[in-house]
Amino acid sequence: MSQGRRKYAPETVVALAVTAVTLAVWAGWLGWDQRSDVHPDGTTTGPYEAWQVIGLVLTLLVTVWWAASRRFFAGAVVGTTAGLGVASFYDWSDDGSGLFVIGVMLIAAVSLAATTALSAVIAALTRDGRRAGA
């Protein structure tokens, strides 16, 4: 394997691992709840409750922290964004109006911004600029 490929291989593996974890976390927190709640006054909410979304975010914070604290910033950002984008697209694609695409784009944009900012904070908080074990 050439030196250039070896340089990016760990980052790619981390990005794929973070993507897989993100897909699993989405399925665990949000994937099972598919029906809206109808209240006595006829209004509907959901399908997700606030505690489910908070649980998803907190679980993903741990994943992003793990990857970014080992200096795999691109893996943390790309993996989380890709995982949330794919999961939301799959979960919401049965919407007949087609408006789910806007939601997917918003999820991807917010995920990209949030994980980038979090990775920058983690970089500022870590002592040295090397990867763990490097």
How confident is the model over 100-109, as pLDDT tens digits?
Answer: 999 999 999 9
* pLDDT tens digit sequence for 39-92: 678 777 668 888 999 999 999 999 999 999 999 999 999 999 999 999 999 998
The pLDDT value given to residue 131: 52
Phi (first) and psi of residue 44, to 5 degrees: -120, 145
Residues 134, 72: contact at Cβ < 8 Å? no
- What pTM, to 2 d.p., does this model score? 0.83
**Contacting residues for 23 by C-beta, under 8 A, at least 6 apart:** 83, 86, 87
State whether residue 130 is helix, strand or coil: coil
Phi (first) and psi of residue 118, to 5 degrees: -65, -40
